[in-house]
Amino acid sequence: MVSAIIVAAGSSRRMGFDKLFAKLDGKPVLWHSIQAFSETKEVDEILIVTREDQMDLVEHLVATERMEKVTKVISGGAERHISVWNGLQAVDSKDSAFIAIHDGARPLVTPKLIKACIDLAETHGAACCASQIPDTVKRASVEQMVTESVERTGLWAMQTPQVFSSGLILQAYAALMAKHEMVTDEVSAVQKLGKKIALLKNDDWNMKITFPHDLELAEHVLDLRRKKTAKSAKARPITH
């Protein structure tokens, strides 16, 4: 059994408005993330972790859209790692062999990517989709003045989903919480145990909605995907 935790408890501070319920192709950003996991047959249940003041809103979205794989809507914490911990505590670890954790603000994730990440985790125990960093990277001061160059060879930008055997991720987060440490993603928590995490190279769009212009780009990506699907269907030969 595979459980998915969708983390949707952020403040959207940099966005200036609630990005998770901003409209993307006529649906809330969060809807797209949930829908991708709902359409992934390998995923058995979905838990959504959100802010206390948004629980009713999320529950209404799940009910009206008939997202039947969603089993729980849980209150998150002030920091991401606390929200993830709350989600992990709500998973039935006895039945779930693997747990996938995903940012609700990454609406361009696809069932194909989710499945590939689950498959890789089943082989290695831990997997994360990621993309290589193509740009020249610099470190800067608080005054935004360049201080040094960063060698980009071997640098990868972490994405989600991040998938782990349930025992491994529960152990990693129990240790984290016991030490009152903070991490920005689940890979970092597992690294602290000295465990290895396999990276799944993702060449498709899987951006995190952070700034208003990201919504425009995400709309464009969805439109391109629709056109590609339509073109592929039209080119398919007719068989009798």
Confidence of residue 93 (pLDDT cuts 50, 70, 90): low
Q: What is the mean pLDDT of residues 208-231?
A: 94
133 neighbors 157 (Cβ within 8 angstroms): yes
| Residue 160, token pair as written in the block | 């989600």
Beta-strand pair 98-103/156-165:
antiparallel
Cβ–Cβ < 8 Å for 178, 204: no
This prediction's pTM: 0.93
Nearest to 47 by CA among 95, 105, 86, 12: 86
**For the chain, how big is the Rg over CA atoms in Å?**
19
Whether residue 238 is predicted with pLDDT greater than 80 in this model: the reply is: no
Q: How confident is the model at residue 229 (pLDDT cuts 50, 70, 90)?
A: confident
Q: Quick one: pLDDT band at residue 18, thresholds 50, 70, 90?
A: confident
Count other C-beta atoms under 10 Å from residue 21's C-beta. Answer: 18
Is residue 76 scored above 80 in pLDDT?
Answer: yes
Residue 11 has pLDDT above 90, yes or no: no
Would you place residue 225 in the very low, low, confident or very high pLDDT band (cuts 50, 70, 90)?
Answer: very high
Angstrom distance (rounded) from CA 28 to CA 104: 10
Residue 230's pLDDT is 87
* Cβ count within 10 A of residue 93: 14
Residue 43 to residue 98: CA distance in whole angstroms: 9
Q: Are 51 and 75 in contact (CB under 8 A)?
A: yes
How is residue 159 written in tokens?
């994405």
Q: Does the pLDDT of residue 44 top 70, yes or no?
A: yes
User: How confident is the model over 74-98, as a mean pLDDT?
Assistant: 91
What pLDDT is attached to residue 52? Answer: 93
Point out the least confidently predicted range of 91-100, 160-169, 204-213.
91-100
Two tokens, residue 180:
């009152």
The mean pLDDT value for 194-209 works out to 96
How high does pLDDT run on average in the chain? 93
- Higher-confidence residue of 152 and 124: namely 124
pLDDT higher than 60, residue 240? no
